[in-house]
Structures are given as structure tokens and as C-alpha cells.
Amino acid sequence: MKKVTLFILLIIAFTACKQEPKTEDYTEKELDVSTSIYPESISKIFEAHGGIDAWNAFESLYFEIEKPEGNDKYDVALKSRKSLIISEHHLLGFDGENVWLKNLDTVTYKSNPKFYYNLMFYFYAMPFVLGDDGINYSEVDALEFEGVNYPGILISYNDGVGESPEDEYILYYHPETHKMEWLGYTVTYFSKEKGKEFHFIKYSDWQDGIGVLLPKTLTWYNYEDNKPTTLRNAVNFVNLKLSKEMPNEEIFKVPDNTMIVE
């Protein structure tokens, strides 16, 4: 009788072990949850440039744009998008609420400060800035240029996003490497209406900024029928520095005797 009872208990114990659900221990695994919120096509582009998670780990960005009279120097707080541009004749900044302009001499500032203060940063920080909130993605026809077909992703914005939510971008990428190759963009800041003409920038000479790739050269092209034609001008970016440290907030504050741009 004791042997029968022991046998039954062994069967029950074996059955209980067999039915116990298997659990997975994720404590030692890294799960990529950020890229999962994006469409596959844009996620592959982020990954080809180092990954959106790697980009989001940084707090500040510094770079310079080469100029014959002296480089323009850019400091950007990546989370708040506060910025400071130091050029030969002017300081142009954004403190999180106001765009401000300080003249360093009598030379007149020729651009529109509110249009320009984050323009070159936005172009330079592609494709990562296309991971911002309030963005919509859709596929468009490929761009054919010099025998290569570059698949395209149309970028549009929800109402109230940024200074010009009517802006549209098309990111064209290499079909094999998934690296960004071209940017098509409209300009709606002045008209406040959706643009019909796309301007084109060629991205090249990618440089490594501690694990993420940012362009060294942006080349603007002439265009016709919403397609790039011939080279117009190139802009070189140098002295790239990315940091996981918060930037010095004092540099973004409005200096004394400075114009607030309305």
C-alpha cells in the first residue's frame, strides 16, 4: 500500500512540473523598444546610422560650419532644442521660449532669425530628428539619379508641430545600405501654405560621432520637376562633438541689450 501511495505522489509531482509554464528571464537582455514604434523602413535607416536609441542617449551636440571668414559655431541641447550660433558678426540663440539676436558689430543680419536658428541643425541631424514626436511616415516613389533608384519616405507633421507644420520632407535612402542619400524638402515658413516644389540636398561623407553617423558634407542641387539636376553648392561640417552631459544652460539665456525676435 505504501508503494502504491508513493507511486501516485510521484506521478502527481511529475505532472505538476510538466504543466508549470516556462518563464523567460529578461533581466540580462536588452530589449529594443524605441525602434519598434517606427515603421520598418525608417527603423532600418536609423539602425544604419547607429540607432535611434544611441542618438537619444546624447544630451548635447556641437559642430561648426566652415566659412571663409571664420566658422559658424553651433551648440544645441538635444532634448529641449535650445541653441546658440556664434558667427563672426552675430549671436543667434533660442532659450526654449524666445529666439534672440545680438549684433556684435554694425553688420546687418541678412537672414530671418526665426527661420534660420534651427535650420542647419535640422538638416545636419538627419535622419535622427525624423524620430521626433508628431511625425507621420508614408512611402513614395523612388528617386532615380545616375542609374540608382533610391526608395523614399514622405515625412509630414501633425498640426501645431514646430514653426512650420506644413513642411514636408522626403528621405531617400540607398536600397542596399539603408543609409540616407538624399533629402527633398519644401519651404512653407513664409507662405504658411503647403509647398509644391521640393528642394534637394545630397548627403555624403558620413562621420562617426561616438557610435552614430552624421554627415560631413551637404550638397544642394538645382532642381526641375521635383527632381535634382545639377550641383549648386556644398556645405562642410567639422569639429563634431556629441556628449551625454547636459550643456551649460547659461549660454542659451538672452544676453543684455539683445533683440527678442517676434
pLDDT tens readout for residues 91-101: 999 999 999 99
Query: Residue 17 pLDDT more than 70?
Result: no
Question: In the predicted model, is pLDDT for residue 32 greater than 70?
Answer: no
Q: What is the pLDDT of residue 134?
A: 86
- Cα(9)–Cα(29) distance, integer angstroms: 38
Confidence of residue 262 (pLDDT cuts 50, 70, 90): confident
Distance of alpha carbon 40 from the chain centroid: 16
Give the C-alpha separation, 65 to 42, whole Å: 27
Per-residue confidence (pLDDT) for residue 225, from 0 to 100? 93
Q: The domain 38-261 is classified under which CATH number: 2.40.50, 2.40.128, 2.50.20, 1.10.490?
A: 2.50.20
Query: Would you state the pLDDT for residue 160?
Result: 55
Write a three-state SS string for 194-243: CCCCCEEEEEEEEEECCCCEEEEEEEEEEEECCEEEEEEEEEEEEEEEEE
Burial 61-88 (b: 16+ CB within 10 A, else e): bebbbeeeeebbebbbbbeebbbbbbbe
Quote the pLDDT of residue 167.
79
For the chain, give percent helix, strand, coil, nearest 5: 20, 40, 40
